[in-house]
Amino acid sequence: MSTLYLVATPIGNLADITHRALRVLGEVALIVAEDTRQTRKLLAHYGIETQRSLLSYHEHSSAGQLEQILATLAQDDVALCSDAGTPGINDPGYELVRAAIGAGHTVSPIPGPSAPLAALIASGLPSDAFLYLGYLPRKASPRRRAITAVAEQPYTLIFLETPHRLLDALCDLQSVLGERQIAVARELTKMYEEIFRGTIGEAIARFKAQAPRGEITLVIAGAKPSSEVWDEARINAQIAAALSEGKKPSQIARQLAAESGWPRREVYQLITGESQS
């Protein structure tokens, strides 16, 4: 059986590609790419024949395109590239991988650049355990729900974001998570690479003062485990203070559960009882 190679390509700097990746791109019968224009630039830069078969495959591709790829794979090796970085991460490559595995083909990764991992290792935040969660939802309510779902996780959180949504995302992160450490990495490996490190509030101030550009990865500290369990008097005092500030019960329960060592449900029950009295 033939092999489907998953070829990681540069996320900015064209020098960030392995010798093995270049060899495979020069040998396979078909190169499948999320954006063939980007892949043609890469092939031309390294003198790999651009006459080689190139096929676009993205989230709007038809089932017929998938069948065409599998038909080629039945006879020859195929390489899959994303627009930039590692294929299968935030693109439809996993569907092709599943189909190739189901058809009995070998699937071989050729590792290389990945924006989430590059941002993580340069963030200064713990990298021994992390959650990569792709792009945050575009709209505010789904975005806050997505952040809330991982607010109590102790792992470093990684999100992708676009420049025009960055400030809204940062404000929602601050509202839900509180004042955590964050790294905002943009234009990684490119000429104007920047990694901002600080609190979420400091990041908001930074990007209000200067509008961000380029592709952005957010790396955020995970929730800290509570070292002590608060007594009921202390938690009731904090609930009263938060309610007086107009915070919602669900937000208070989430934040105090992370700080107090109390289960979130019990905190919420205390809030409900206090708000009804």
Q: Give tens-digit pLDDT for 232-272.
A: 888 998 898 888 888 889 888 888 887 787 888 899 999 98
Distance CA 197, CA 240 (A): 33
The 10s digit of each residue's pLDDT in 148-182 is 999 989 999 999 999 999 999 999 999 999 899 99
Cβ contacts of 227 within 8 Å, gap of 6 or more = none
- Distance CA(195)–CA(186), nearest Å, equals 6
Residue partners of 166: CB distance under 8 A and separation at least 6 = 184, 207, 212, 216
Contacts 24+ apart (CB under 8 A), 65-69: 66/95, 66/96, 66/99, 69/30, 69/32, 69/96
* Residues present in the chain in total: 277
pLDDT band at 277 (very low <50, low <70, confident <90, very high): very low
Instruction: Between 260 and 209, name the one with better pLDDT.
Output: 209
* pLDDT for res 272: 87
Residue 87 above 60 pLDDT? yes
Statement: residue 226 has pLDDT above 70: no
Whether residue 93 is predicted with pLDDT greater than 90 in this model: the reply is: no
32-81: pLDDT as tens digits:
998 889 999 999 999 998 666 899 888 777 778 899 999 999 999 999 99
Handedness of CA 93, 95, 100, 106 (dihedral sign): positive
Cα 14 to Cα 8, 33, 44, 103, distances in angstroms: 12, 16, 11, 33
Residue 23 phi, psi dihedral angles, 5° rounding: -65, -45
Q: What is the pLDDT of residue 275?
A: 43
pLDDT digits (tens, 9 = 90+) for 177-204: 989 999 999 999 999 999 999 999 999 9
Average pLDDT, the chain: 91
DSSP state string for the chain: --EEEEE-B-SS-TT---HHHHHHHHH-SEEEES-HHHHHHHHHHTT--TTSEEEE--TT--HHHHHHHHHHHTTS-EEEE-SSBSTTSSSTHHHHHHHHHHTT-EEEEE----HHHHHHHHHSS--SSEEEEEEPPSSHHHHHHHHHHTTT--SEEEEEE-GGGHHHHHHHHHHHH-S-EEEEEESTTSTT-EEEEEEHHHHHHHHHHS---S-EEEEEPPPPPPSSPPPHHHHHHHHHHHHHTT--HHHHHHHHHHHHS--HHHHHHHHHHHHH-
pLDDT of 227 over the 70 cut? no
pTM over cut 0.85: no
